[in-house]
Chain A
Amino acid sequence: MSKGRFGIHGGQFVPETLMNAVNELEEAYNRYKDDPEFIAENERLLNEYAGRPSLLYYAEKMTKDLGGAKIYLKREDLNHTGSHKLNNVIGQILLAKKMGKTRVIAETGAGQHGVATATVAALMGMECEIYMGKEDTDRQALNVYRMELLGAKVHAVTTGTQTLKDAVNETLREWTRRVNDTHYVLGSVMGPHPFPTIVRDFQSVIGKEIKAQLLEREGRLPDAVLACVGGGSNAMGAFYEFIPDKSVALIGCEAAGLGVDNPKNAATVANGTLGVFHGMKSYFCQDEYGQIAPVYSISAGLDYPGIGPEHANLHDTDRAQYVPVTDDEAVNAFEYLSKTEGIIPAIESAHAVAHAMKIAPDMGRDKIMVINLSGRGDKDVAAIARYRGVEIYE
């Protein structure tokens, strides 16, 4: 019966039209995930095309400036296309090819997942269409052009709140229209089973590398791993390897927008309640009648009213901690990391940097913290300038 549960969360709450597709995907994934040829091909692309392993960088200036824990940055921003998203996309499109699909579709918020999907679709010769909320095509116009340059067709979604959740709605609708030749490259650890598991597995390379790199550098595990959480794919990728290592604190940083007490936020664990949406049982920002709330964050990639089901379960079981970070704090961290380390983080990743700035000073100097720097911030520069009152448009 019900599959893909993480505690009470997860499941496969999708229309009947899609059930054979998700079942076929599960079968194909189970067949290929342990297939030596598939693993070798995936690894070759990760290493030779994406540029893995990504660096684990000791942020010495930041460490000294904050005066507490030793801070390492996992440089997912250095991947080809500028974020962790490529890890999952390479795996899924490889799988889609094995399944005989000729066309891929995907949702995108900030555009990072859309760009990654368009990139790998170009590489592997797949037709590609991307769904992006109209509000996001406006605030991330450069990424729209980038996707088009890569040969993808970009649809601006004008329904609902015109952001990430509506892009997911529209991609799900398109998938029900045309499921036979089309694979939905879901970009986060969310949606119906088997997506949360598949995406987590393809992203778990992040945590595996962190562990190996830190063991080599420091001879031990970190005390804390921090990552930003929207749907939660970079966080799940960074956390997964460390779940059995109970000494490692896992901290997910949610987008609190204008503040958790202000309606304009997207902090699902802080403000959400149990629900069933986008194929999964999990926590969602919603009203007493189960109408999904119009969430807000300065970060298009974290502007999502739900959280992946495995995160919901890590929260329920207290294995991970989820903390809210406001727009203001994230923008400060964006500028801080740029000035302190010469690294411009994605505004999404800046949420994790912001929380690190809060807690690192109170941790002992013998402690080690790893921040997953999930993406680079080039795409955000104009928006941050406008946030600071400088009228720059791309």
Chain B
Amino acid sequence: MSKTAQAFKNGKAFIPFVTAGDPDLETTKKLIIAMAESGADLVEIGIPFSDPVAEGVVIQQADERALSSGTTTDKIFDMVSSLRKELPTLPLAFMTYINPIYVYGSEKFLARCEELEVDAVIVPDIPYEEKQELLPYCEKHGVDLISLIAPTSEERIKTIAAEAQGFLYCVSSMGVTGVRSEIKTDIGAMIRNVREVSSIPTAIGFGISNPETARKMACHADGVIVGSAIVKLCAQYGRDCVEPVRAFVKEMKDAIRDL
């Protein structure tokens, strides 16, 4: 079993997301440590991109703040390297777009991931049909390439799930990332489709921002992913976001731990 999948061994998994470098990388490192201490099972580290087409306005603005503070892929690797000294085993995933990886050099990027024990990469603009762009490098370096399914996936779900690695990222709603008042998709049906072909852990993301929704979603799946609600706290509190995020992550993990 990959280390990514082990994140689902501690009850329902809580997977927070943070944009690296928002407002600076030192704060990002403190945030990840605080998240781990308050129960995060896997942390998604967003590598900011100038044109994040799958993101809503909250994460778009976080990417802009991170890039304008001088964040680069190399500096993020350095931060993770220093983070690994304090958190040697916490499962970590990078979330970014294909262009920053491709232009950095896919081989070089995934070799760095292996070195830093980053367990998975989530690349929303690599659909099933294009996964050969990254998969050979991921396999060579033992990094899981996370697959996504969406409310529109329908008959594609089984094909995607059958080959998925680490965990399956279930996009809860149409559209881009961001806080939503309700999730209307029949998540149960999506997960049942997955279960027909695979026992891979599933995590639901997009639009989850409070303990109630997290509980509801965690009844269907093995974990929940929360991004924009956390990034909003970073935007609101800037360098002082560590304690508010610590409290939020604890509240969310507590809400789903015993389901």
Contact partners of B237 in chain A: CB under 8 A:
none
In the complex, chain A residues whose CB is within 8 Å of the CB of B51: 160, 165-166, 169, 277-278, 292
Chain A residue nearest to B206 in the complex (CB): A17
A286 within 8 A of B: yes
Q: In the complex, what's the smallest C-beta–C-beta distance from B16 to chain A, in angstroms? A: 21
The digit string for B118-131, where 1 denotes a CB below 8 A from any CB of A, is: 00000011111110
Q: Is B234 an interface residue (CB 8 A)?
A: no
**B53/A17 in contact, CB under 8 A:** no
The total of chain B residues at the interface (CB under 8 A) is 42
A193 to chain B, nearest CB (A): 9
Asked if residues A15 and B125 are in contact (CB atoms below 8 Å), the reply is yes
Are A15 and B132 in contact (CB-based, < 8 A)? no
Given contacts A13-B130, A19-B128, A277-B51, contact A179 B152 (CB under 8 A): yes
Q: With the chains together, A165 CA to B49 CA distance in Å?
A: 14
Residue total for A at the interface (Cβ-Cβ under 8 A): 40
Q: Which residues of A contact B160 (CB under 8 A)?
A: 16
Residue contact B130 to A159, C-beta cutoff 8 Å? no
Whether A14 pairs with B102 at a CB distance below 8 angstroms is no
> Is A288's CB under 8 angstroms from B103's CB?
yes
Chain A positions 164-196 with a Cβ under 8 Å from a chain B Cβ = 165-166, 169, 172-173, 176-180
Within 8 A of A (CB), among B137-189: 148-154, 156, 160, 171, 174-176
Q: B60-89 toward A: CB 8 Å interface, digit per residue (1/0)? A: 100010010000111000000000000000
A290 on interface, CB distance cutoff 8 Å: yes
- Check A290–B102 contact: CB distance below 8 A: yes
In the assembled complex, the CB of A226 is this many whole angstroms from the nearest CB of chain B, namely 30
- Shortest beta-carbon distance, A96 to chain B, in Å? 17
The answer on a CB contact under 8 Å between B132 and A19 is no
Instruction: Please tell me if the beta carbons of A176 and B49 are within 8 angstroms of each other in the complex.
Output: no
> Which of B5-13, B93-101, B217-225 lies at the interface with chain A?
B93-101
Hey, which chain A residues are within 8 Å of B153, CB to CB? 16, 19-20
> In the complex, which of the residues B56, B100, B124, B152 contacts A290, with contact meaning CB atoms closer than 8 Å?
B100
Does chain B have a CB within 8 A of A151?
no
Contact, CB under 8 Å: B128 / A16: yes
Q: Which residue of A3, A17, A169, A286 contacts B99 across the interface (Cβ within 8 Å)?
A: A286
B50 touches A292 (CB 8 A): yes
A280 to chain B, nearest CB (A): 10
Interface residues of B in 173-219 (CB under 8 A from A): 174-176
Q: Are A177 and B127 in contact (CB under 8 A)?
A: no
* Nearest CB of chain A from residue B259's CB, rounded to whole Å: 26
B57 at the interface (CB under 8 A from A): yes
Residue of B57, B124, B129, B150 with most chain A CB atoms under a 10 A cut-off: B129
A16 engages B98 (CB within 8 Å): no
Please give the distance in Å from A247's CB to the nearest CB on chain B. 37
Residues of B that sit less than 8 Å from A by CB: 49-51, 53-54, 56-57, 60, 64, 67, 72-74, 98-104, 124-130, 132-133, 148-154, 156, 160, 171, 174-176
- Give me the 8 closest cross-chain CB pairs, A-B, nearest first: A290-B103, A177-B175, A17-B150, A290-B100, A290-B99, A291-B50, A16-B150, A276-B98
- Would you list 30 pairs from A and B whose C-beta atoms are within 8 A, ordered by A residue? A1-B129, A2-B129, A2-B130, A2-B132, A11-B130, A12-B130, A13-B130, A14-B125, A15-B54, A15-B127, A16-B127, A16-B148, A16-B149, A17-B151, A18-B152, A19-B156, A20-B156, A159-B60, A173-B176, A176-B175, A179-B152, A275-B102, A277-B99, A278-B51, A278-B53, A284-B99, A289-B72, A289-B104, A290-B101, A292-B99
